[in-house]
Amino acid sequence: MIPSEALISKAKDRQFTRDPERAPTEDFHDILFDLEKEGEWEVQRVPEPYVEVETKYGRKKKIPLQHTWHHKSCGQCGHIPGYSTSIFWINRKLGFDYIDPTDQTSCTAWNYYASATSNAAAQAAVAMRNFAAAAETSYFPIIHCGTSFGHYKETRQQLIHSPELRRQVRDILKRLGKKFVIPEEIVHYSEWVHAVRDRIAEHQTRNMSMIRATVHPACHYHKLIAEDAVYDPEIYGAQRSAIITGTLKAIGVEVADYSTWFDCCGFGFRHILVSRDFSRSFATMRKIEVMKEEANPDVTVTHDTGCVTTLDQSQFAAQAHNRNVGVPVMSDSQIAALAMGAHPYKVLQLHWHSTDNKPFLQKVGIDTDKAWQEFEAAVEKLKSGEQQYLTWEDADA
């Protein structure tokens, strides 16, 4: 028999002191700057004003507030575009300047992890080409996709430790006529949302206190180069990454825990494309059903393309088997924008999502029929040729 009482008692006595020296890798900042001094590359500094946060082992990380160059996500922009739209909408509401570039490719890591039809040099060259494009504008890159974020951190690690890879990529960029420049920090958009959560709360127009949410942290956010993810002693005692949860708390949402929080969503890279039975099963049986059983949330909130897609889209087929599903899924940028008064369809674009989110919206006090009619009226103007595109002004009308 396991002496569980004694184990729990012992656990309470434990103290976890965050110590930068205990991190599994050296502090990359020093190396970036040393290599810059040696003429290996340039380092693009985080522009002021920035917010300083702490990472897993207590190292500091600078999060720029504005003057940001938005490295978009192929999945977000392609399948769940309200994700990206909400990020831009929040920037605009906070009065921050940013660039939404067209000189950007995907990180190509989805393909890399799914099909292996790439290699380290190609992946590093794609990353550094995108970073060079950002540096040309003097705006600082902010990475929307969890996989791009994790993959770019791996790439930074490889470039730091391999002079040969640096030489190879530097030569490629030279041929492209681009600088070999690396950002001082690789920043995920949800770290930015976390850094501005109090400002989001200041601009809050919708009461969210009746909402209970669960959080799914994205694998490629907190498992790849884990020591560079944001942690906060006030969020789960810094035992889990702080982003999303910190944002939800700031806007008054109750965050409920569930036992399979560490599990991946089931995306699997190749699986979501060609083995979706795996993705569906994992997403519903290990994540959604466990959340329903243990926390019964109104919504689950995550911060990566693959997670929103897999958790949301997988629930439809599971209904045919009378599985205990039915939890709307959205990103932290979407729920933060909603709290700030964003339109559920013109900004959050929730009609691209699969699982029924109307009960959640109605609980927040939104007349979903009226909101949909407003969106349809805007679409009708596009169909009739009265106007070509929906504008930011239309989105707030």
Stretch binding another protein (CB under 8 A), from 4-12, 53-61, 221-229, 362-370? 221-229
Stretch binding another protein (CB under 8 A), from 12-20, 57-65, 74-82, 230-238? 74-82
Q: Which residue do the tokens 């290699």 mark?
A: 119
Q: CB 170 → another protein: shortest distance, Å?
A: 12
What is the DSSP secondary structure assignment for residue 331, as one 8-state letter? E
2 binds another protein (CB under 8 A): no
> Residue 345 to residues 80, 195, 282, 353: CA-CA distances in angstroms?
12, 26, 29, 11
Q: CB 344 → another protein: shortest distance, Å?
A: 13
What is the DSSP secondary structure assignment for residue 181, as one 8-state letter? E
Stretch binding another protein (CB under 8 A), from 7-15, 30-38, 108-116, 179-187? 108-116
Stretch binding another protein (CB under 8 A), from 9-17, 33-41, 105-113, 199-207? 105-113
- Axis crossing angle, helix 146-161 with helix 305-313, rounded to the nearest 10: 140
What are 331's strand-pairing partners?
Answer: 302
CA 127/CA 104 separation, integer angstroms = 10
Q: Which of 335, 317, 333 is nearest to 266 (CA)?
A: 317
166 binds another protein (CB under 8 A): no
Decide if 183 contacts 131 (C-beta within 8 A): yes
60 binds another protein (CB under 8 A): no
Q: Please, which residue, 223 or 363, has the CB nearer to another protein? A: 223
Q: Please, which residue, 7 or 176, has the CB nearer to another protein? A: 176
258 binds another protein (CB under 8 A): no
264 binds another protein (CB under 8 A): yes
Please, which residues have CB within 8 angstroms of residue 314's CB and are 6 or more apart in sequence? 266, 276, 279, 280, 283, 284, 288
CA 72/CA 81 separation, integer angstroms = 10
Q: Please, which residue, 356 or 367, has the CB nearer to another protein? A: 356
397 binds another protein (CB under 8 A): no
Residue 9 identity: S
Stretch binding another protein (CB under 8 A), from 33-41, 126-134, 192-200, 295-303? 126-134
Q: Please, which residue, 54 or 278, has the CB nearer to another protein? A: 278
> Residue 380 to residues 375, 376, 394: CA-CA distances in angstroms?
9, 6, 13
Question: What is the number of residues in the chain?
Answer: 397
256 binds another protein (CB under 8 A): no
335 binds another protein (CB under 8 A): no
73 binds another protein (CB under 8 A): yes
